[in-house]
Amino acid sequence: MNWTAITVFVLLFGLITVMGFVAAHWRRGDLTELHEWGLAGRRLGTVITWFLLGGDVYTAYTFIAVPALMFGAGAIGFFALPYTIIVYPLVFLILPRMWAVAHKHNYITAADFVRGRYGNRWLALAVAVTGIVATMPYIALQLLGLQVVIGAMGVGTGGGLAGDLPLIIAFVILAAFTYTSGLRAPAMIAVVKDTLIYITVLALVIVVPYQLGGYGNLFAAIPPEKLLLPTPGPGTLGQYSAYATLALGSAFALFLYPHTMTAVLSSTSAQVIRRNAAYLPAYSFLLGLLALSGFMALAVGVASMPEFAPQFELYKSNFAVPALILHSFPDWFAGVAFAAIGIGGLVPAAIMSIAASNLFTRNIYVPFINPSCAPAQETQNAKVVSLVVKVGALAFILFLPLQYAIQLQLLGGIWISQTIPAVIFGLYTRWFNPWALLIGWAAGLVIGTWMAGTTGFQSAVFPLAIDGLTIPGYAALYALAANIVLCILLSPIFNTARTTQGADETVASDYRFGLRSRQ
Amino acid sequence: MSTTPPPSTPTSAHSSWWLLLLLIPFVALLWVPFYNRLEPAIFGIPFFYWYQFAWVILTSLIIVLVDSRTRDADSSDRGGQP
């Protein structure tokens, strides 16, 4: 047990717990309304939106898994950097339109928009269910991040219920402040979380290369096969196409995750989103540095140090960064770093559970189960569902093998991408027929799942063979291509029957965003 | 804003050319063979790594530029309204 680190960790956790409850009083609103509880009243400005979106994209799982991939597999893991770069031109172009139409019609979820745009509650249901299913394993993996850092302090490695206790306590705290404060809690805590993470990463990229004698020595210590992508052999595009399609496909998928939508819709204007697209790459820089910490762990050689053997046994390469932190820093600073990662798991888990409960309430409960639901009742329902979602995620991580959560998260990325035609194309055109979109979505799910299945659900990269050339690529993109082709082929056929088209409650001017003012 | 019909925007077609700049990061980062190399290294950091880091900053600058250009166009639209 590392008591110094534990003390610092617990103190910082106490601080954010207090903040989480105080947040209910911040920019006070009527928390019995869903857009107040679930979107913080749509009043978040540039700075808080920056922290909130940052908290969404750069999660505890990212902080553990990206360096772990660099540590284990090498350069291919660096695709996280181009992914988090090219996502921002897309954010800049697409999401202000989503904000404008959502603000006009009080949409809280992407499925709300789909229902309004296409007048088809089944298509909206498909979008909502996909969002919830893709989010659940993501929340579970935030817990994995928390579990690894708790284990790094020598707690809970013995297994059993006592070993899981710290994780359960952390989650009870999370559930309680999300319930009372809604989105205001993670918005406020995100500021502390990111400050701690910036401090940790800056310390890592300064201290470790200094100990190693410079960046030249760091890269020189990396085996050549991990330093670059291997040059593809004849008849295949090898890791080149895998790298590019993983970056592009992940960038598209990011938009569709319900928690991204929640953070975007909670901002106060379309211009806040455009400005954030320019400033958020600061996080990408951080993420790139963090990815390199996987190489630092390799260069330092933490895997062969006997004191870390039991945890590597338990957490595999996910322990690379915690081991590096323990090896390179004094205990008190390890406490700060672990708190950064742990809180970095709670913030996105809170946003995700709010987003999932918004989806359930707005797009499943009210339209299909209780149509006469009053607004206050709607909010109460969402608060309860956010608890259920979190308990589900906790049960997931405690009782099922970790591998399931990782595989489901991988599938979730493939599934969520299949809602792109309905949601993103819908922002620009009403040409597509809702039933064609529904069939395309279903076909995309089946094809993407089958592709991942051919790898035994171990990898999202599918070796597509065309005319003797093998193009390994992200299955989400291949499935999306099939999905889009079906939507294009079937839409004109369905559109000949006017009754299938559905009513559109939006008009072209709803998508325009005044950039000067909106008073 | 909801009651007035959208005004015709003669300058928007002109300003939308700026949006094409946003394609540059895609080309630069998705054509992997171009940057999957060690040299030229800077301070011992292989090209593969510093090149992609450089695009974080370049992309940010491109977005700032496009934002300022397309925003000006929008406000001049509004100035032209009766």
What is the least distance, in Å, from the CA of A240 to any CA of chain B? 6
Structure tokens given for A71: 């540590």
The domain of B45 spans 16-59
Residue B10 lies inside a defined structural domain of this protein: no
The domain of A94 spans 3-502
Write the ipTM: 0.85
pLDDT tens readout for residues A345-400: 888 888 888 888 888 888 888 888 877 777 778 788 888 888 888 888 888 777 77
Residue B2 has pLDDT above 70, yes or no: no
Residue B66 lies inside a defined structural domain of this protein: no
User: Which chain A residue has the Cα nearest residue B30?
Assistant: A244
Residue A512 lies inside a defined structural domain of this protein: no
pLDDT confidence tier of residue B48, bands split at 50, 70 and 90: very high
pLDDT of residue A443: 95
Residue B28 lies inside a defined structural domain of this protein: yes
CA-closest candidate to residue A267, choices A58, A432, A430, A51:
A51
pLDDT of residue A123: 93
Residue B79 lies inside a defined structural domain of this protein: no
> What burial letters (b/e) apply to A93-124, b meaning 16+ CB within 10 Å?
ebbbbbbbbbbbeebbbbbbbbbbbbebbebb
Residue A252 has pLDDT above 50, yes or no: yes
pLDDT of residue B80: 34
Residue B45 lies inside a defined structural domain of this protein: yes
Q: Which of A50, A85, A292 to mutate to test the interface with B (most CBs of B within 10 A)?
A: A85
pLDDT tens readout for residues A479-491: 999 999 999 999 9
**Residues of B at the A interface, defined by Cβ within 8 angstroms:** 1-2, 4-6, 19, 22-23, 25-26, 29-33, 36-38, 41, 43-46, 48-49, 52-53, 55-57, 59-60, 62-64, 66-67, 71, 74-75, 78
Q: Which residue has the higher pLDDT, A250 or A25?
A: A250
Residue B11 lies inside a defined structural domain of this protein: no
pLDDT tens readout for residues A8-24: 888 888 888 888 787 77
pLDDT of residue A463: 86
Residues of B in contact with A227 (CB under 8 A): 38, 46, 48
DSSP H or E stretch at residue A461: strand A461-466
Residue A142 has pLDDT above 80, yes or no: yes
What is the least distance, in Å, from the CA of A517 to any CA of chain B? 10
Residue A279 lies inside a defined structural domain of this protein: yes
A53-67, A89-103, A182-196 — which one is most confidently predicted on average? A89-103
Q: What is the rounded CA–CA span in Å between residue B48 and residue A70? A: 14
Q: Which residue has the higher pLDDT, A22 or A338?
A: A338
Residue B71 lies inside a defined structural domain of this protein: no
Q: What is the rounded CA–CA span in Å between residue B73 and residue A330? A: 54
Percent of chain A with pLDDT over 70: 96
Residue A421 has pLDDT above 80, yes or no: yes
pLDDT of residue A488: 93
Residue A515 has pLDDT above 70, yes or no: no
Residue found by looking up tokens 């989806």 in the block: A359
Span A505-519, average pLDDT: 66
Tally of domains in chain A? 1
pLDDT confidence tier of residue A130, bands split at 50, 70 and 90: very high
Residues of A in contact with B8 (CB under 8 A): none
Residue A515 lies inside a defined structural domain of this protein: no
Please, what is the average pLDDT of chain A? 84
Residue B64 lies inside a defined structural domain of this protein: no
Residues of B in contact with A278 (CB under 8 A): 60, 63-64, 67
Out of A247, A274, A508, whose CB is closest to B30?
A247
Tally of domains in chain B? 1
Residue A457 has pLDDT above 50, yes or no: yes
Q: What is the rounded CA–CA span in Å between residue A197 and residue B18? A: 35
pTM confidence score = 0.86
Span A252-278, average pLDDT: 84
Residues of B in contact with A78 (CB under 8 A): 48-49, 52
Residues of A in contact with B6 (CB under 8 A): 508-509, 512
Out of A82, A240, A518, whose CB is closest to B29?
A82
CATH code, A345 = 1.20.1730.10
A170-179, A467-476, B4-13, B51-60 — which one is most confidently predicted on average? B51-60
Out of B37, B63, B71, whose CB is closest to A515?
B71
